[in-house]
Structure 1
Amino acid sequence: MSVNIGIIKKAAVHYRGSTDHLNDLNVFTDSRQQTEQGLFVPIVGERFDGHEFIAKAIEAGAVASLWMKDRQLPEEVPADFPIFYVDDTLGALQTMAKLVLKERQPKIVAVTGSNGKTTTKDIIESVVSTKYKTHKTKGNFNNHIGMPLTILDSPDDCEVMILEMGMNHFGEISLLSRIAEPDIAVITNIGESHIEFLGSREGIAKAKMEIVDGLKTDGLLIIDGDEPLLRSFNLDDFHTVTCGYGDDNGLRIGNVKAHIKGYSFTINGEDMTYHIPLLGRHNVKNASYALAVAQSLNIDAPSVQKGFEQLSVTGMRLETVKGRMGTMLINDSYNASPTSMMAAIETVKNLPDYNRKVVVLGDMHELGPDEENLHRQVAQTIEAPITDLITIGTKAQWIADEASKHSPSYSVHSYTEKAQALPFIESLLSNKTVILIKASRAAQLESLVEQLEA
């Protein structure tokens, strides 16, 4: 789970100090992070320069550091402290990641998409780990800094690496793909996330398709086959598998049935019935991507089902939590777009055994100049059996306003702050109530979940 000195030297222009006493080093970029045998990589950002924190990094456990050759080395750095001089520290970090992949040669599965990429990554890892030694992106380490750190943190015996690739501007997925050079690339869907920067859903699709820029020549592309924007690209240059509900998909989902703890479904009309312990019909499609990956890696159907059963997904994504008085809380507060919000509402509508179905919705961000209309579109999904709509925030107010226009069969309540909404939400708690809590990350609605937990 560390980088050998040979790889570090290859990424450097030259170095000073003895490296004979150094074995493999753990790479880190945050000088506040306590580590052992650490190689500090000082990143230069818009508002900070990591070179200024070399002393703190040494205190935290750094035994060596990369250093941009045009920067003056502070006097407090010990004369015998090894420094690897590079043209650019970020570029060197990415180069080391590429060298590690070349040395260890794991199969690379890259995952991107507007919604569902983290859950899909988790499902793929759970399935693939039934046969191979795996390593996956943790937390939000899915950008030009985080992904190289994920790669450098991989164990020497890793056989399959599942890398999540995030972005909010053109060119970012292309860079990540060219670093990782995936064997398999997955695009989960095209939504509205980051439309503020990419202009349109067509722009978002173009940015997501950058994942093929580093795809190996014999690589596999797996896409949402129900998305016309992805079908519009010339896919003849790639071995492509389409997944979805349409009859023309390579992996055709059928016989979908909702259960209190997840969904069952079949693929291509075959006898095998799969079960996933996840809420949300959209997660059936996410599971189909994992099936496509499994087939390419020669993992049989019983092993796939075993992977589904042992699944553990990253928190705050349709995460079920037991609330006070037996209430079922669905914590989906990690992030939100109109597509994912409407999918979450559909999930609540399809749950059996609850008399009161409550949706608590907060502001969505990064939707660009059309944000009001995109918020109002969410109201189209809210209908019986939903019994209560509660919005929190100034942008979410548009959802409530739109819902109120149509003489809804459910109650509509709108609040500016979380604290204002809490008393009414508490009045709805019972063992026959399910409450969805959904908003963009900035709204931090998970604090409501904490207050409502049993």
Structure 2
Amino acid sequence: MKFSSKLLNEISHGPVDHELVFEGVATDTRRDCTNKLFVPIVGEVFDGHRFIDAAIVNGATGTLWEKNKPFPKDLEGKINVYEVDDTTVGFQELAKQVLKQQKPYVIGVTGSNGKTTVKDMLEAVLSPKYKTFKTQGNLNNHWGLPMTVLAMPEDTDVLILEMGMSGLGEISLLTQIAQPDVAVITNIGESHLLQLGSRENIAKAKMEIAEGLKSDGVLVIDGDEPLLTPTHKNVISCGYEDNNELQIDHVEKRENGYVFTLKNEKEPFEISLLGKHNIKNAVYSIASARRLGMTDDQIRQSLSSLKLTGMRLEQFRLSTGALIINDAYNASPTSMKAALETLAELEGFNKKIAILGDMYELGDQEEFLHRDIATSVKPSITEVITVGDKAKWIYDGMKENETQVPAVSFDNKEDAASYLSGRLDDQTAVLLKASRGLGLETILQALGKES
């Protein structure tokens, strides 16, 4: 993204007396900074201002600079300096100015589960008609979102921004920067109970996305969630219950996905994705694409070519022929139950093994929420293996409930991989599900992932 130094007049102290064109922004001086604006981020344990000399050496032609920090005298005149009160705020304000100048159609996506999947779906659905750009990786916070804005190509038609949070007020900040035309709330789960204390507070935090929504924008929500009670004038509710504007009607399971219809509509939609929960994710994308003027035939064709970010119901084959379903990018009780349902629905396998790891950030309800997972283990699953101290509560819950599915518990991934070694054949399906911090997917390396 190229931008003129004139935009910095809006965010820095004093007018810029000459014009430069920057080729983008840089926050990491270990990477190429040629003709870029260096943004020295200040965190709890680091201060990017210390690396201004490296930024100059690597080609940066301008820098934001906090006015209360002295600029090195030996570097004066070697780089254009734009003083701000706070470089993080200046970074965010610059992103706002770029959005005002470029005017892409902005779709913001948040939710306890599914926001990255919906982001990927939106790109797949919209990209055949529009030039799209989306949040890369997990750049969905107060630094990542402006970085995404400032990295988008200049000819972007639709900008898809994932918005994450860990507490109240964070999504409010992100949506005020993005000012979306469409805002999607996928669901309300149990993630961040540690920080927010209740699902009601999680819902309140997710609803903040409407605060920055354009006056003529639309809010797309999970209409089956009673905690979502939006006051915005334009709302599209999606789900299975009768009150939804887009009500999922008939659902038919296929070998690698689902066919479904919306109530009062004749032509079905099809997705080639595991997991029934992805039907609702697809409906959010349908609602957003219709808002942008795409026809249902265009949407159907796009849905057929979906590709999701890695470790979300990602399928691999081991050299033994065993199917691995890697859903270990992250986990909450809601998403773990959905993954177990997906495993239970699989056909054509004699053995279906669920490897379940710790779930984090669940607060004082973490033991109950882990134990409650046991209620979602269906008899068609042939074995459950838990990994980690917290996941042992799942094992304990299965024993207490006398679940008719064998279960074993291990403290670490290495022992679990050793237990599995030699037991997985072409009639075996294995699910991996845990919070990101556990790195459960490394079991694949021990088992010999073939791809």
TM range (shorter): over 0.9
2:346 is matched with 351
Q: Please tell me whether the aligned partners of residues 109 and 162 of structure 2 are also in contact (alpha carbons under 8 angstroms).
A: yes
Secondary structure at the counterpart of residue 129 of structure 2: coil
Task: Describe how 1:110-129 pairs up with structure 2 within 5 A.
Answer: 110-129=108-127
1:106 is matched with 104
Task: Describe how 1:64-213 pairs up with structure 2 within 5 A.
Answer: 64-77=62-75, 79-213=77-211
Cα deviation 1:404-435 (Å, max 9, x = unaligned): 22333222110001111112222331111110
Between stretches 252-261 and 149-158, larger displacement belongs to 252-261
Q: Please tell me whether the aligned partners of residues 22 and 37 of structure 2 are also in contact (alpha carbons under 8 angstroms).
A: no
1:12 is matched with 12
Amino acid at match of 1:38: K
1:385 is matched with 380
Whole-angstrom CA distance in 1 between matches of 2:306 and 2:177: 28
- Identity across matched positions, percent: 47
Secondary structure at the counterpart of residue 75 of structure 2: coil
Whole-angstrom CA distance in 1 between matches of 2:32 and 2:327: 31
Whole-angstrom CA distance in 1 between matches of 2:358 and 2:193: 15
Amino acid at match of 2:348: D
Q: Please tell me whether the aligned partners of residues 60 and 79 of structure 2 are also in contact (alpha carbons under 8 angstroms).
A: no
Q: How far apart are residue 81 of structure 1 and its match?
A: 1.6
2:294 is matched with 299
Task: Describe how 1:41-80 pairs up with structure 2 within 5 A.
Answer: 41-77=39-75, 79-80=77-78
Whole-angstrom CA distance in 2 between matches of 1:33 and 1:311: 32
* Gaps in structure 1 of 5+ consecutive residues: none
Q: Please tell me whether the aligned partners of residues 5 and 25 of structure 1 are also in contact (alpha carbons under 8 angstroms).
A: no
Q: Please tell me whether the aligned partners of residues 258 and 351 of structure 1 are also in contact (alpha carbons under 8 angstroms).
A: no
Q: Please tell me whether the aligned partners of residues 33 and 55 of structure 2 are also in contact (alpha carbons under 8 angstroms).
A: no
Amino acid at match of 2:4: N
Secondary structure at the counterpart of residue 51 of structure 2: helix
Q: Please tell me whether the aligned partners of residues 326 and 431 of structure 2 are also in contact (alpha carbons under 8 angstroms).
A: yes
Cα deviation 1:36-64 (Å, max 9, x = unaligned): 32211011111111111212223333222
Q: Please tell me whether the aligned partners of residues 127 and 294 of structure 1 are also in contact (alpha carbons under 8 angstroms).
A: yes
Task: Please tell me whether residue 429 in structure 1 is matched to residue 424 in structure 2.
Answer: yes
Amino acid at match of 2:239: G
Judged with a 3 Å threshold, the aligned counterparts in structure 2 of structure 1 residues 387 and 269 are, in CA distance, closer, same or farther, namely farther
Root-mean-square deviation (CA), in Å? 1.6
Whole-angstrom CA distance in 2 between matches of 1:310 and 1:440: 28
1:313 is matched with 308
Q: Give the TM-score normalised by the residue count of structure 1.
A: 0.95
Q: Please tell me whether the aligned partners of residues 15 and 82 of structure 1 are also in contact (alpha carbons under 8 angstroms).
A: no
Cα deviation 1:203-249 (Å, max 9, x = unaligned): 0000000001111111101100111111xx253x4211110111221
* Gaps in structure 2 of 5+ consecutive residues: none
Task: Describe how 1:221-370 pairs up with structure 2 within 5 A.
Answer: 221-230=219-228, 233-235=229-231, 237-370=232-365
Secondary structure at the counterpart of residue 110 of structure 1: strand
Secondary structure at the counterpart of residue 3 of structure 2: coil
Amino acid at match of 1:8: L
Q: Please tell me whether the aligned partners of residues 280 and 343 of structure 1 are also in contact (alpha carbons under 8 angstroms).
A: yes
Q: Please tell me whether the aligned partners of residues 56 and 79 of structure 2 are also in contact (alpha carbons under 8 angstroms).
A: no
Whole-angstrom CA distance in 1 between matches of 2:441 and 2:140: 22
Whole-angstrom CA distance in 1 between matches of 2:18 and 2:371: 61
Q: How far apart are residue 15 of structure 1 and its match?
A: 7.5
Q: Please tell me whether the aligned partners of residues 327 and 434 of structure 1 are also in contact (alpha carbons under 8 angstroms).
A: yes
Task: Please tell me whether residue 371 in structure 1 is matched to residue 366 in structure 2.
Answer: yes
Q: Please tell me whether the aligned partners of residues 110 and 185 of structure 2 are also in contact (alpha carbons under 8 angstroms).
A: yes
Secondary structure at the counterpart of residue 395 of structure 2: helix
1:36 is matched with 34
Whole-angstrom CA distance in 1 between matches of 2:33 and 2:259: 44
Whole-angstrom CA distance in 2 between matches of 1:176 and 1:451: 40
Whole-angstrom CA distance in 2 between matches of 1:260 and 1:54: 56
Whole-angstrom CA distance in 1 between matches of 2:308 and 2:419: 30
Q: How far apart are residue 254 of structure 1 and its match?
A: 2.3
Whole-angstrom CA distance in 1 between matches of 2:401 and 2:201: 33
Between stretches 22-31 and 106-115, larger displacement belongs to 22-31
Whole-angstrom CA distance in 2 between matches of 1:77 and 1:349: 63
Cα deviation 1:255-311 (Å, max 9, x = unaligned): 222223222211124221211121111111000000000111111111111221222
Judged with a 3 Å threshold, the aligned counterparts in structure 2 of structure 1 residues 55 and 66 are, in CA distance, closer, same or farther, namely same
Q: Give the TM-score normalised by the residue count of structure 2.
A: 0.96
Secondary structure at the counterpart of residue 77 of structure 2: coil
Q: Please tell me whether the aligned partners of residues 130 and 306 of structure 1 are also in contact (alpha carbons under 8 angstroms).
A: no
Secondary structure at the counterpart of residue 266 of structure 1: strand
